[in-house]
Amino acid sequence: MSVLELRQLLSRKRVMIFDFDGTIVDSSPLHARAFNEAFARFGAWVDYSRIAGLKTEDAVNNIARELGLVLSDEQAAALVHDKRQRALRLVAAELEAIDGSIDFLRRAQGRYAMALCTSGSRATIEVALARVGLAHFFEPVVCAEDVARGKPDPQGFLIALRHHRAQPDEALVFEDAESGLAAAAAAGIDAIHVVARGSARANGQADWALLNQALG
């Protein structure tokens, strides 16, 4: 997208809804490590790109299915807990914001209503927000526990819309994962596909440098 296209899009919106992992913070490597450590007992390697953006429960089920593992409910729950605990420790110690994301958020604050819609657990998200200086920044913060169906289902985004009494055309979603972009489309909300700095930008894609430029 061009700067002009982004400025025109931003001018039509009053609510911004952000994904967190991989969009605002560079957490994907940490979550990939946590999944691989949790599944190491099966001698398996997890391709995180295939499950990015999914609730941990859904991701564990997808991984098990692809590996041909038959898990009891207790085993699946144990894997979910193990992965979340590992991710929590890594996030608390190592998480960093993606360059330009915090600048954009702080400059947009007060000009737009700001919501967060993430597939992460509330415990992990609260630690992560505090680590990057964004505690109490978003309203609402919709986490995995708040929805019956995670992305690509639009339920989380619809919760954010209802909170702000907004129509879909008044909001803009910022996402890095296909599951989140699909959820935004299902909710009827325009979305920006946030990509790594310097990446080729197709229609609907932008990096934080371009977004900061467009915000003015």
Whether residue 151 sits in one domain with residue 107: yes
Among residues 53, 78, 94, the one where a domain terminates is 94
Residue span of the structural domain in which 197 resides: 3-26+96-215
pLDDT tens, 41-73? 998 899 998 998 888 999 999 999 999 999 999
- pTM: predicted TM-score of the whole model, two decimal places: 0.85
- State how far the Cα of 192 lies from the Cα of 173, in Å rounded to an integer: 6
156 & 102 share domain: yes
One-letter amino acid at 148 equals A
When divided into structural domains, the chain yields a total of 2
Calpha distance 76→64 (Å, rounded): 9
Report the C-alpha gap between 185 and 154 in whole angstroms: 8
pLDDT digits (tens, 9 = 90+) for 121-153: 999 999 999 999 999 999 999 999 999 999 999
Q: Quick check: 143 and 135 in contact, CB under 8 A? A: no
Are 209 and 115 within one domain?
Answer: yes
Q: Are residues 123 and 83 in the same domain?
A: no
Write down the residue that tokens 């325009």 correspond to.
190
Residue 142's domain is classified under what CATH number?
3.40.50.1000
Contacts of 97 (CB under 8 A, 6+ apart): 24, 25, 26, 132
Once rounded to an integer, what is the mean pLDDT over residues 140-169? 97
